[in-house]
Amino acid sequence: GISFEVDAQYKMHKVSDRSAYGIVCSAEDVDSGEQVAVTKIESVFKHIDCARRILRELRILRHLQHDNLLQLKNVFFAGGRSEFRDLYSVMD
């Protein structure tokens, strides 16, 4: 199976889909009670062009606010700073 290394803030439910960049899992934000989607982007720095594209998309999503768009809630790496292997994005 696929493992998601996330904070205790997120209660993972089930893998729901695959996106262009990674694997999407439905979850609950325990602090707010909101349903969120957590995307795991594996080996984000394996290909530098792909990493740039993902970073650009996340930066744009951070600034966009509209009822018809998902809102970027959080972005984090699993493990320590020295690893920087898998990137996680949380959207509502």
Q: How many residues does the chain have?
A: 92
pLDDT classification of 9: cutoffs 50, 70, 90? very high
pLDDT, tens digit (0-9, with 9 covering 90-100), for 11-37: 999 898 888 888 999 999 999 999 999
Which pLDDT score, from 0 to 100, does residue 80 have? 67
What is the CA angle 80-18-70, rounded to 5? Answer: 80
Work out the burial of residue 60: count CB atoms within 10 Å of its CB; fewer than 13 is exposed, 13-18 middle, 19 or more buried: exposed
